[in-house]
Amino acid sequence: MRFRSRWAVLIVVVGLSAAVVPAAQAGTDTSVSSSSRLWSWGSNERGKLGDGTTMRRTTPGRVQLSGVVAVAAGGISGYAVRTDGTLMAWGQNAFGQLGDGTTRTSYTPVPVVGLTRVTAIAGGYLSAMALRSDGTVWAWGDNGTRQLGPGVTAGSSLPVQVRGVSHVTRIASGPYADYALRSDGTVWAWGYNALGQLGGGTTTDDRARPMPVLGLTNITAIAGGEAGGYAVRADGTVWAWGFGGYGGLGDGTGQNRSTPVQVTGLTNIKAVASFGNSAYALAADGSVWAWGLNDYGELGNGTEQKALRPVRVHLHGAVAISSGYHAAYALKDDGTVLAWGAGPNGELGNGTRTTKNPLPLPVSTLTGVTAIAGGLGSAFALTAP
């Protein structure tokens, strides 16, 4: 089972109501400064590259936005955290996922209203979530699987606080479920749960109130996938739960799990990433490991065979990883970026629109890269001035 079909149905529904909450004014400066540079490439449906056009790009192009310290991709939207702690968004907005109080698509970055002191951003397919420096979590956009939290009955085009979770240090989004890592090392989840992706031991209905993922302690990093979650423990092991049909849980079985299971054979891991039905882990030695669906070569090992257990991606010297829907990205220690997997929209960033590439190739023209983010047919990168 894959979930793109459900998402495709959702994006044509434009009649959701928006809940209004009090908001302060946000800045509107989108001039370019020397403090950072934002680049985008791939599919540009509804302006999700943020460059003011709807033209597809097969190589990175500049987004006119200053002072960006973090970037994230949603389904057909993009998000950036600026040095002053404010948040900008662009792209499709039928569900209010730009957080600007409207449902108007924007081809260039606009301020997310009312959020300050933002330290992290996570994009879902039709919603988004931000972490503030006080450890609170805020969400906006579609609420079809209750991902905006308890007490919210409809979608919102303005950020609302996710109640019931605090002291959060990291956040992660799947398409229909969200995850938060607290300062005590526990992971909390809410949203869609039909396949156990909330990790609470059940497959009951969607859940608005955040609850702990069972059995996880001493967690240092998290990620959300197509229908499951991932966590790295302080001992360097990786744990997964939810949909396992294509091997996406990495435990060798291909079965669904409503409580976390250990991903087989991984040690000394410091980060995980997922967006579709494949997952990736970055080891302390700079190696990258992948498992799950591999129809487009998204495991990066030169094959197109799914893997129920982790296989090594053919690269070395990685310092960061990110996952698109059928593509993946690695930032190397020399400031360059490698990409592999599906590329029909130009999302591999190498000047081509190849259907698939099962081995990592350099993204054209990018040097001095400090951060990367993969999305649904598109990708973003930050470079030093």
| Residues above pLDDT 70, as percent of the chain | 91
pLDDT tens for 73-87 read: 998 999 999 999 999
- In tens, the pLDDT along 311-352 reads 999 999 999 999 999 999 999 999 999 999 999 999 999 999
Give the chain's mean pLDDT: 90
Higher pLDDT, 128 or 7: 128
> Residue 35: its pLDDT value, please?
62
Range in 31-35, 89-93, 148-152 the model is least confident about: 31-35
Q: Is residue 169's pLDDT more than 90?
A: yes
Q: Which CATH number applies to 27-383?
A: 2.130.10.30
pLDDT tens column, 280-299: 999 999 999 999 999 999 99
- Look at 272 and 384; give whichever has higher pLDDT: 272
Using CA of residue 348, residue 224, residue 186, residue 269, what is the dihedral sign?
negative
Instruction: Please write down the HEC assignment for all residues of the chain.
Output: CCCHHHHHHHCCCCCCCCCCCCCCCCCCCCCCCCCCEEEEEECCHHHCCCCCCCCCEEEEEEECCCCEEEEEECCCEEEEEECCCCEEEEECCCCCCCCCCCCCCEEEEEECCCCCCEEEEEECCCEEEEEECCCCEEEEECCCCCCCCCCCCCCEEEEEECCCCCCEEEEEECCCEEEEEECCCCEEEEECCCCCCCCCCCCCCCEEEEEECCCCCCEEEEEECCCEEEEEECCCCEEEEECCCCCCCCCCCCCCEEEEEECCCCCCEEEEEECCCEEEEEECCCCEEEEECCCCCCCCCCCCCCEEEEEECCCCCEEEEEECCCEEEEEECCCCEEEEEECCCCCCCCCCCCCEEEEEEECCCCCCEEEEEECCCEEEEEECC
8 phi, psi to nearest 5 deg: -60, -35
pLDDT band at 385 (very low <50, low <70, confident <90, very high): confident
Tokens 């799914």 locate to 306
Tell me, what's the pLDDT at 12? 27
Q: Which tokens hold the place of 261?
A: 């299971």
pLDDT tops 50 at residue 97: yes
